[in-house]
Amino acid sequence: MEPILLVHGGAGDITNARVSGKLDGIKTSVRRGFSVLKNGGSALDAVEEAVRSMELDENFNAGYGSCLNTNGEVEVEASIMIGDLKSGCVTLLHDIMHPISVARKVMEKTNHTFLGGEQAMQFAVNQNFEILPKGSLITQNAKDALAEFLDRQSKGLDTIFSPTELDKKEAPGEPGTVGAVAIDIHGNIAVATSTGGITGKIPGRIGDTPILGSGTYADNTIGGVSTTGHGETLMRFNLAQRILQKMFYEKVSAQEATEFTVKEMTKRLVGTGGAITISKSGDIGIHFSSKRMAWAYIKSNKLFFGINKGDSYVESA
């Protein structure tokens, strides 16, 4: 099987100021993850590596640079799944740089699938994860985005920017959840997704990202999907699972299933989002109903990437 790695850096109202940082970050991530696959490594190791790269990068809403809740704190969550239906998920972690690796430990070292809150923090400590000094994941951009959110909320304004406001915005604004889908030489599929949620969330809010079938799903008999966007929409629609079921029952391509299902979600529930998909035969699906979504993949020694609707740039891997 030809190995492929496909990554996203979040769907949403990405400002012009964020575009180049996101494209650099997404290309670094896909190259780092693909170096694992190229050397015969597993899809699981590749998606973890790709996501870890973006968790370190403040251009993304995961690990360092995560969005803040109304208390001005970071609460992160993540999920990882492999195609034989094993998985690990975590939520409400704080001060940990790589929640995706904690999720992997839940999968590998416990009889459970999902751990949350202070007990999940304790689990991470037991697994020797470094707990950073309080507030280490907070960036100035995240603080500015929260201040702007609270200001608009107090004035009774919509906290979602209009397209005209967005175009004028000079501050970086929202970063974006990260995700990766891979298929390795053995045909094994793995998916990983990690996020800081959304700016101005109520403390304790859990989004779609750590929920199987919404943020992440992998099944070697169909394919793998990682999603991003408005969590309250995605989790009620079960976006990842619906894409795979469409491929399975209707025998449509990854692209057709991804595009149809993302559009259907926004039609039914208004909220926007995006998804990346790889089918078990290595066919790719990418679609978003938001303004932008950074994505990239490496296949046949070429790196394909984009962020605006209709983009499809290619460079050598």
Q: Where along the sequence are the contacts to ligand ASP (CB under 6 A)?
A: 10, 12, 61, 176-177, 195, 197-198, 207-209, 228-231, 234
Residue number, 89 or 317, with CB nearest to ligand ASP? 89
- Residue 31 to residues 116, 142, 276, 316: CA-CA distances in angstroms? 31, 27, 17, 11
Residue number, 175 or 306, with CB nearest to ligand ASP? 175
User: CB of 2: closest distance to ligand ASP in angstroms?
Assistant: 29
- Residue 255 to residues 105, 212, 234, 279, 284: CA-CA distances in angstroms? 32, 21, 18, 9, 6
User: CB of 13: closest distance to ligand ASP in angstroms?
Assistant: 10
Rounded distance between C-alpha atoms, residue 188 and residue 3, angstroms: 9
**Burial (CB count within 10 angstroms: exposed 0-12, middle 13-18, buried 19+), residue 91:** buried
**Tell me, what DSSP letter sits at residue 189?**
E
Residue number, 230 or 280, with CB nearest to ligand ASP? 230
Rounded distance between C-alpha atoms, residue 143 and residue 126, angstroms: 31
Instruction: State the residue number with the nearest CB to ligand ASP.
Output: 231
Query: What is the biggest distance separating any 2 CA atoms in the chain, rounded to whole angstroms?
Result: 56
User: CB of 137: closest distance to ligand ASP in angstroms?
Assistant: 15
**Tell me, what DSSP letter sits at residue 224?**
E
Residue number, 193 or 279, with CB nearest to ligand ASP? 193
Sheet holding 292-299, edge to edge: 114-116, 86-93, 76-82, 189-195, 178-183, 4-12, 292-299, 302-306, 313-316
Q: Is 177 a catalytic residue?
A: yes
User: CB of 299: closest distance to ligand ASP in angstroms?
Assistant: 24
Rounded distance between C-alpha atoms, residue 279 and residue 257, angstroms: 10
User: CB of 280: closest distance to ligand ASP in angstroms?
Assistant: 25
Q: Which of 15, 91, 177, 233 is catalytic?
A: 177
DSSP reduced 3-state for 211: coil
Residue number, 230 or 299, with CB nearest to ligand ASP? 230
Active centre residues (catalytic): 177
